[in-house]
Amino acid sequence: MLLPDADVSRILVVVAHPDDIDFGAAGSVAVWTDAGIEVQYCLVTDGDAGGSDREMSRVEMAAIRREEQTKAAAIVGVHDLHFLGFPDGRVVADLELRHAISRVIRDVRPERVLSMSPERNLDRIYASHPDHLAAGEATLAAVYPDARNPFAHPDLLDNGHEPWTVSEVYLTAHADNTVYVDITDTFERKLAALECHESQHADPARLRTLLSEWGRALGALAGLPEGRLAEGFRAIDVDPR
């Protein structure tokens, strides 16, 4: 059985790139932090392959995107970010990435993990960037079995990272949402968070239109009153009670 928010004290969000969170979940994150839930972010890459300026070094782009994501996180009440530093555009769901995510899960000890769908959505190809799929697959493997198994990645245990059992996973950009969060009252903060990513998005007016349309469509699917906005997730109970 999935947990009500009242029974959740910590949430870990694991995504591939800076701005992935803000597109898919920043409104919900603001709802949760407003309710007193601690939320932390884990970024698999620094987004160093982003932008279109060929004169800018990739090291400089990575630094810019870290700063942008840190500012965006603060707007929705998040102040602890873990940057794993894997190369943007070359993420694979291998043991190295599973190890890195497992370490963060063991350290943060969240009841809920939010990540990206590992399933390609042919109706929303931009949401199915290969890095997104790999980050989602590696996160699910880290949730089960790696983070909870003391014999998985034994060096973690040797270095004091005690096993931790995550209760549930929420996935963004999944074709079949099962949980919706009303973000009407936090929408402006979601938009402000996304606007922090200036190196990627130079047209704030377009962002407002796009996110409003998505939010209204998901609100209708959630059965909310007309005009209310929502974010949707595929929820997975990984710790049956």
What CATH number is attached to the domain comprising 115? 3.40.50.10320
The overall average pLDDT reported for the chain is 95
How many domains does the chain fold into? 1
What's residue 235's pLDDT? Answer: 98
What's residue 7's pLDDT? Answer: 97
pTM for this model (two decimals): 0.96
User: At 32, phi and psi to the nearest 5?
Assistant: -70, -45
Average pLDDT, stretch 151-165? 97
Residues in the chain, overall count? 241
Q: Any bridge partners for residue 40, and if so which? A: 12
d(CA 121, CA 66) in angstroms, rounded, equals: 27
Q: Any bridge partners for residue 41, and if so which? A: 13, 81
Q: Indicate the burial class of 155 (C-beta count within 10 angstroms; 0-12, 13-18, 19 or more).
A: exposed
Crossing angle of helices 187-195 and 26-34, in 10° steps, is: 120
Q: What is the CA radius of gyration of the chain?
A: 17
Instruction: Assess whether pLDDT exceeds 80 at residue 70.
Output: yes
Q: Which residue, 172, 105, 166, is CA-closest to 133? A: 172
**Per-residue pLDDT tens over the stretch 173-210:** 998 999 999 999 999 999 999 999 999 887 878 899 99
**Per-residue pLDDT tens over the stretch 3-51:** 999 999 999 999 999 999 999 999 999 999 999 999 999 999 999 887 7
pLDDT-based confidence at 241, cuts 50/70/90? low
What's residue 122's pLDDT? Answer: 83
d(CA 230, CA 63) in angstroms, rounded, equals: 32
Range of the domain at 70: 5-237
